[in-house]
Protein backbone atom coordinates (compact mmCIF):
# COMPACT_ATOMS: atom_id res chain seq x y z
CA UNK A 1 0.00 0.00 0.00
CA UNK A 2 1.06 3.56 -0.69
CA UNK A 3 2.77 4.87 2.46
CA UNK A 4 1.39 8.37 1.99
CA UNK A 5 -2.18 7.10 2.04
CA UNK A 6 -1.34 4.95 5.05
CA UNK A 7 0.10 7.97 6.83
CA UNK A 8 -3.09 9.87 6.11
CA UNK A 9 -5.17 7.15 7.71
CA UNK A 10 -2.88 7.13 10.73
CA UNK A 11 -3.21 10.91 11.02
CA UNK A 12 -6.98 10.52 10.90
CA UNK A 13 -6.73 7.95 13.70
CA UNK A 14 -5.07 10.54 15.92
CA UNK A 15 -7.91 12.91 15.00
CA UNK A 16 -10.23 10.33 16.59
CA UNK A 17 -11.74 9.38 13.25
CA UNK A 18 -13.81 6.29 13.89
CA UNK A 19 -13.52 4.95 10.37
CA UNK A 20 -9.73 5.23 10.46
CA UNK A 21 -9.72 3.32 13.76
CA UNK A 22 -11.78 0.49 12.27
CA UNK A 23 -9.74 0.39 9.07
CA UNK A 24 -6.37 0.26 10.82
CA UNK A 25 -7.58 -2.47 13.16
CA UNK A 26 -8.73 -4.58 10.21
CA UNK A 27 -5.45 -4.09 8.38
CA UNK A 28 -3.38 -5.04 11.38
CA UNK A 29 -5.55 -8.10 12.00
CA UNK A 30 -5.16 -9.13 8.36
CA UNK A 31 -1.41 -8.47 8.54
CA UNK A 32 -1.55 -5.71 5.94
CA UNK A 33 1.29 -3.23 6.56
CA UNK A 34 1.13 -4.23 10.20
CA UNK A 35 4.73 -3.39 11.04
CA UNK A 36 4.53 0.03 9.41
CA UNK A 37 1.27 0.92 11.13
CA UNK A 38 2.30 -0.34 14.55
CA UNK A 39 5.73 1.29 14.42
CA UNK A 40 4.03 4.60 13.91
CA UNK A 41 1.41 4.07 16.61
CA UNK A 42 3.80 2.66 19.20
CA UNK A 43 5.67 5.95 19.26
CA UNK A 44 2.49 7.82 20.19
CA UNK A 45 0.91 5.47 22.68
CA UNK A 46 1.50 3.30 25.74
CA UNK A 47 0.24 5.68 28.39
CA UNK A 48 -3.20 4.21 28.98
CA UNK A 49 -3.84 1.33 31.29
CA UNK A 50 -5.92 -1.68 30.38
CA UNK A 51 -8.67 -3.15 32.56
CA UNK A 52 -9.02 -6.88 31.89
CA UNK A 53 -12.26 -8.68 32.67
CA UNK A 54 -12.31 -12.47 32.67
CA UNK A 55 -14.40 -15.30 34.04
CA UNK A 56 -16.38 -18.35 32.95
CA UNK A 57 -19.01 -18.15 30.20
CA UNK A 58 -22.28 -16.72 31.43
CA UNK A 59 -20.79 -15.03 34.51
CA UNK A 60 -22.09 -11.69 33.25
CA UNK A 61 -18.84 -10.17 32.00
CA UNK A 62 -20.45 -8.38 29.10
CA UNK A 63 -23.12 -6.85 31.34
CA UNK A 64 -20.42 -5.66 33.72
CA UNK A 65 -18.42 -4.19 30.86
CA UNK A 66 -21.55 -2.39 29.76
CA UNK A 67 -22.17 -1.09 33.27
CA UNK A 68 -18.56 0.08 33.59
CA UNK A 69 -18.79 1.74 30.20
CA UNK A 70 -21.84 3.65 31.42
CA UNK A 71 -19.90 4.90 34.43
CA UNK A 72 -16.95 5.96 32.27
CA UNK A 73 -19.29 7.71 29.84
CA UNK A 74 -20.94 9.58 32.71
CA UNK A 75 -17.48 11.04 33.39
CA UNK A 76 -17.17 11.84 29.68
CA UNK A 77 -14.39 9.35 29.07
CA UNK A 78 -14.12 7.55 25.74
CA UNK A 79 -14.06 3.74 26.02
CA UNK A 80 -12.35 1.19 23.77
CA UNK A 81 -13.34 -2.44 24.29
CA UNK A 82 -11.72 -5.59 22.91
CA UNK A 83 -13.65 -8.82 23.51
CA UNK A 84 -11.77 -12.06 22.90
CA UNK A 85 -14.11 -14.99 22.45
CA UNK A 86 -13.36 -18.58 21.67
CA UNK A 87 -15.04 -19.24 18.36
CA UNK A 88 -15.64 -21.76 15.63
CA UNK A 89 -17.08 -21.67 12.14
CA UNK A 90 -20.23 -23.23 13.58
CA UNK A 91 -20.77 -20.60 16.21
CA UNK A 92 -21.20 -16.87 15.92
CA UNK A 93 -24.64 -16.76 17.42
CA UNK A 94 -23.66 -16.62 21.04
CA UNK A 95 -20.88 -14.17 20.43
CA UNK A 96 -23.06 -11.91 18.38
CA UNK A 97 -25.57 -12.14 21.21
CA UNK A 98 -23.00 -10.81 23.66
CA UNK A 99 -22.28 -7.92 21.40
CA UNK A 100 -25.93 -7.13 20.94
CA UNK A 101 -26.18 -6.70 24.69
CA UNK A 102 -23.81 -3.78 24.32
CA UNK A 103 -26.27 -2.07 22.05
CA UNK A 104 -26.95 0.58 24.67
CA UNK A 105 -23.64 2.01 23.49
CA UNK A 106 -23.93 0.86 19.90
CA UNK A 107 -24.69 4.30 18.59
CA UNK A 108 -22.33 6.11 20.98
CA UNK A 109 -19.42 7.31 18.86
CA UNK A 110 -17.24 7.51 21.96
CA UNK A 111 -17.41 3.77 22.58
CA UNK A 112 -15.58 1.40 20.25
CA UNK A 113 -16.10 -2.37 20.51
CA UNK A 114 -14.06 -4.99 18.72
CA UNK A 115 -14.74 -8.72 19.03
CA UNK A 116 -12.06 -11.25 18.22
CA UNK A 117 -12.11 -15.01 17.93
CA UNK A 118 -9.29 -17.16 19.24
CA UNK A 119 -9.15 -19.50 16.31
CA UNK A 120 -5.74 -20.33 14.99
CA UNK A 121 -2.62 -19.94 17.05
CA UNK A 122 -3.19 -18.26 20.38
CA UNK A 123 0.02 -16.29 20.04
CA UNK A 124 -1.48 -14.57 17.02
CA UNK A 125 -4.52 -13.47 18.98
CA UNK A 126 -2.42 -12.22 21.84
CA UNK A 127 -0.40 -10.10 19.49
CA UNK A 128 -3.40 -8.76 17.59
CA UNK A 129 -5.11 -7.89 20.85
CA UNK A 130 -2.12 -5.95 22.05
CA UNK A 131 -1.92 -4.09 18.74
CA UNK A 132 -5.65 -3.32 18.70
CA UNK A 133 -5.48 -1.89 22.22
CA UNK A 134 -2.69 0.41 21.01
CA UNK A 135 -4.70 1.49 17.98
CA UNK A 136 -7.69 2.26 20.21
CA UNK A 137 -5.44 4.32 22.44
CA UNK A 138 -4.15 6.11 19.35
CA UNK A 139 -7.76 6.77 18.37
CA UNK A 140 -8.28 8.63 21.62
CA UNK A 141 -10.05 5.97 23.64
CA UNK A 142 -8.72 6.80 27.08
CA UNK A 143 -10.27 3.85 28.87
CA UNK A 144 -9.34 0.44 27.53
CA UNK A 145 -11.23 -2.68 28.50
CA UNK A 146 -10.21 -6.20 27.52
CA UNK A 147 -12.78 -8.94 28.01
CA UNK A 148 -12.11 -12.67 27.65
CA UNK A 149 -14.39 -15.63 28.10
CA UNK A 150 -13.22 -18.60 30.12
CA UNK A 151 -10.88 -19.45 32.95
CA UNK A 152 -8.10 -21.40 31.30
CA UNK A 153 -4.47 -20.97 30.47
CA UNK A 154 -5.26 -19.08 27.27
CA UNK A 155 -7.25 -16.49 29.16
CA UNK A 156 -4.41 -16.11 31.63
CA UNK A 157 -2.04 -15.33 28.79
CA UNK A 158 -4.40 -12.76 27.34
CA UNK A 159 -4.81 -11.20 30.78
CA UNK A 160 -1.08 -10.50 30.93
CA UNK A 161 -1.91 -7.54 28.71
CA UNK A 162 -4.11 -5.98 31.36
CA UNK A 163 -2.83 -3.70 34.11
CA UNK A 164 -5.81 -4.45 36.31
CA UNK A 165 -7.36 -7.91 36.11
CA UNK A 166 -10.96 -8.29 37.24
CA UNK A 167 -12.14 -11.89 37.71
CA UNK A 168 -15.91 -12.33 37.56
CA UNK A 169 -17.48 -15.34 39.26
CA UNK A 170 -21.01 -16.39 40.19
CA UNK A 171 -22.20 -17.83 43.50
CA UNK A 172 -23.20 -21.48 43.73
CA UNK A 173 -21.67 -22.58 40.44
CA UNK A 174 -18.36 -24.11 41.42
CA UNK A 175 -16.75 -21.17 39.58
CA UNK A 176 -14.44 -20.59 42.48
CA UNK A 177 -13.00 -24.08 42.26
CA UNK A 178 -12.58 -23.81 38.51
CA UNK A 179 -10.81 -20.48 38.89
CA UNK A 180 -8.47 -21.97 41.45
CA UNK A 181 -7.71 -24.95 39.22
CA UNK A 182 -6.95 -22.66 36.33
CA UNK A 183 -4.55 -20.65 38.46
CA UNK A 184 -6.58 -17.50 37.97
CA UNK A 185 -6.65 -16.56 41.65
CA UNK A 186 -3.08 -15.39 41.45
CA UNK A 187 -3.61 -12.95 38.61
CA UNK A 188 -6.78 -11.32 39.97
CA UNK A 189 -6.43 -7.74 41.17
CA UNK A 190 -10.15 -7.42 41.86
CA UNK A 191 -12.71 -10.19 42.38
CA UNK A 192 -16.33 -9.67 41.42
CA UNK A 193 -19.06 -11.98 42.62
CA UNK A 194 -21.70 -11.08 40.09
CA UNK A 195 -25.36 -12.06 40.38
CA UNK A 196 -24.87 -11.46 44.08
CA UNK A 197 -28.64 -11.62 44.45
CA UNK A 198 -28.29 -15.42 44.14
CA UNK A 199 -27.82 -17.56 47.24
CA UNK A 200 -24.29 -18.25 48.41
CA UNK A 201 -22.70 -14.93 47.41
CA UNK A 202 -21.53 -13.99 50.91
CA UNK A 203 -20.20 -17.47 51.52
CA UNK A 204 -18.27 -17.38 48.26
CA UNK A 205 -16.81 -14.02 49.26
CA UNK A 206 -15.65 -15.59 52.52
CA UNK A 207 -14.11 -18.55 50.67
CA UNK A 208 -12.18 -16.32 48.29
CA UNK A 209 -10.96 -14.07 51.11
CA UNK A 210 -9.81 -17.11 53.03
CA UNK A 211 -7.83 -18.31 50.05
CA UNK A 212 -6.30 -14.90 49.58
CA UNK A 213 -5.16 -15.11 53.18
CA UNK A 214 -3.49 -18.43 52.47
CA UNK A 215 -1.45 -16.99 49.63
CA UNK A 216 1.51 -14.85 50.48
CA UNK A 217 2.78 -13.21 47.33
CA UNK A 218 4.36 -10.32 49.18
CA UNK A 219 2.45 -7.74 47.18
CA UNK A 220 1.18 -4.62 48.93
CA UNK A 221 -2.08 -4.87 47.00
CA UNK A 222 -4.73 -7.15 48.40
CA UNK A 223 -7.42 -8.08 45.88
CA UNK A 224 -10.81 -6.86 47.13
CA UNK A 225 -13.92 -8.98 46.63
CA UNK A 226 -16.86 -6.94 45.32
CA UNK A 227 -20.47 -8.17 45.26
CA UNK A 228 -22.38 -6.89 42.24
CA UNK A 229 -25.76 -7.32 40.68
CA UNK A 230 -26.26 -5.80 37.27
CA UNK A 231 -30.01 -6.40 37.47
CA UNK A 232 -30.37 -4.63 40.83
CA UNK A 233 -27.63 -2.16 39.89
CA UNK A 234 -25.76 -2.75 43.14
CA UNK A 235 -22.02 -2.79 43.69
CA UNK A 236 -21.17 -1.25 40.33
CA UNK A 237 -19.89 2.03 41.77
CA UNK A 238 -17.81 0.05 44.28
CA UNK A 239 -16.31 -2.01 41.45
CA UNK A 240 -15.48 1.18 39.59
CA UNK A 241 -13.77 2.60 42.68
CA UNK A 242 -11.75 -0.56 43.31
CA UNK A 243 -10.49 -0.51 39.74
CA UNK A 244 -9.50 3.14 40.16
CA UNK A 245 -7.82 2.32 43.45
CA UNK A 246 -5.76 -0.39 41.78
CA UNK A 247 -4.79 2.02 39.05
CA UNK A 248 -3.51 4.48 41.64
CA UNK A 249 -1.68 1.69 43.42
CA UNK A 250 0.10 0.71 40.18
CA UNK A 251 1.23 4.26 39.53
CA UNK A 252 2.33 5.03 43.08
CA UNK A 253 4.08 1.74 43.77
CA UNK A 254 6.10 1.79 40.57
CA UNK A 255 4.43 -1.45 39.49
CA UNK A 256 3.18 0.31 36.38
CA UNK A 257 6.75 0.94 35.24
CA UNK A 258 7.52 -2.69 35.83
CA UNK A 259 4.54 -3.70 33.64
CA UNK A 260 5.72 -1.39 30.87
CA UNK A 261 9.23 -2.79 30.96
CA UNK A 262 7.98 -6.36 30.84
CA UNK A 263 5.75 -5.56 27.90
CA UNK A 264 8.48 -3.79 25.99
CA UNK A 265 10.67 -6.85 26.39
CA UNK A 266 7.85 -9.05 25.19
CA UNK A 267 7.15 -6.84 22.18
CA UNK A 268 10.80 -6.81 21.16
CA UNK A 269 10.95 -10.59 21.55
CA UNK A 270 7.84 -10.94 19.35
CA UNK A 271 9.51 -8.94 16.60
CA UNK A 272 12.53 -11.22 16.78
CA UNK A 273 10.34 -14.28 16.79
CA UNK A 274 8.40 -13.01 13.75
CA UNK A 275 11.61 -12.29 11.95
CA UNK A 276 12.98 -15.75 12.65
CA UNK A 277 9.72 -17.38 11.65
CA UNK A 278 9.83 -15.72 8.26
CA UNK A 279 13.40 -16.89 7.80
CA UNK A 280 12.49 -20.39 8.99
CA UNK A 281 9.61 -20.69 6.54
CA UNK A 282 11.89 -19.86 3.62
CA UNK A 283 14.61 -22.18 4.82
CA UNK A 284 12.20 -25.07 5.46
CA UNK A 285 10.57 -24.64 2.08
CA UNK A 286 13.93 -24.64 0.34
CA UNK A 287 15.09 -27.68 2.32
CA UNK A 288 12.17 -29.84 1.21
CA UNK A 289 13.61 -30.38 -2.23
CA UNK A 290 17.08 -31.03 -0.93
CA UNK A 291 17.57 -33.48 1.86
CA UNK A 292 14.61 -33.63 4.23
CA UNK A 293 13.55 -36.55 2.03
CA UNK A 294 16.74 -38.36 3.04
CA UNK A 295 14.91 -40.23 5.81
CA UNK A 296 16.50 -38.01 8.39
CA UNK A 297 13.95 -37.56 11.16
CA UNK A 298 16.13 -36.12 13.88
CA UNK A 299 14.80 -32.60 14.48
CA UNK A 300 17.87 -31.66 16.51
CA UNK A 301 20.25 -32.50 13.70
CA UNK A 302 18.06 -30.86 11.08
CA UNK A 303 17.66 -27.73 13.20
CA UNK A 304 21.41 -27.41 13.60
CA UNK A 305 22.18 -28.07 9.93
CA UNK A 306 19.61 -25.60 8.68
CA UNK A 307 20.67 -22.99 11.20
CA UNK A 308 24.37 -23.15 10.37
CA UNK A 309 23.61 -23.18 6.67
CA UNK A 310 21.49 -20.06 7.00
CA UNK A 311 23.40 -18.11 9.63
CA UNK A 312 26.88 -18.73 8.36
CA UNK A 313 28.52 -16.78 11.19
CA UNK A 314 26.48 -18.44 13.91
CA UNK A 315 27.64 -21.74 15.33
CA UNK A 316 24.75 -23.69 16.87
CA UNK A 317 26.72 -24.79 19.90
CA UNK A 318 28.03 -21.42 20.93
Return residues touching a second copy (CB under 8 A). Answer: 35, 38-39, 42-43, 46, 57, 85-91, 94, 118-119, 121-122, 150, 152-155, 157, 177-178, 180-186, 211, 214-215, 260, 264-265, 267-273, 275-277, 280, 284, 292, 297-304, 306-307, 311-314, 316
Closer residue to a second copy in complex, CB, 105/195: 195
Instruction: Tell the smallest beta-carbon distance from residue 43 to a second copy (Å).
Output: 6
172 or 183: whose CB is closer to a second copy?
183
Q: Which is nearer to a second copy, 251 or 264 (CB)?
A: 264
CB nearer to a second copy: give 68 or 136: 136
Q: State in angstroms the smallest separation of the CB of 302 from a second copy.
A: 5
Give the shortest CB-308-to-a second copy separation in angstroms: 11
Least distance from a second copy to the Cβ atom of residue 65, Å: 19
- Output 111 or 133, the one with its CB closest to a second copy: 133
Is residue 282 within 8 Å of residue 251, measured between CB atoms? no
Closest approach, Cβ 232 to a second copy, in A, equals 26
At closest approach, how far in Å is the CB of 295 from a second copy? 11
Nearer to a second copy, 76 or 313 (CB): 313
Amino acid sequence: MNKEILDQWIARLYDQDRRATAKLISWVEDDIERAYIMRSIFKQTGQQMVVGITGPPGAGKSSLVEALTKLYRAKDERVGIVAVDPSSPYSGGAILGDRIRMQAHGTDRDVFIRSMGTRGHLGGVTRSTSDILRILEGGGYGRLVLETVGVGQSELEIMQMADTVVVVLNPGTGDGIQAIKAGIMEVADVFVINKADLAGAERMKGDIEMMLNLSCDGSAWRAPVVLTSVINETGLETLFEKIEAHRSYLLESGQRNEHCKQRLRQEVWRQWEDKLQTIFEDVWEAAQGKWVALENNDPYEIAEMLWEERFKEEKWDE
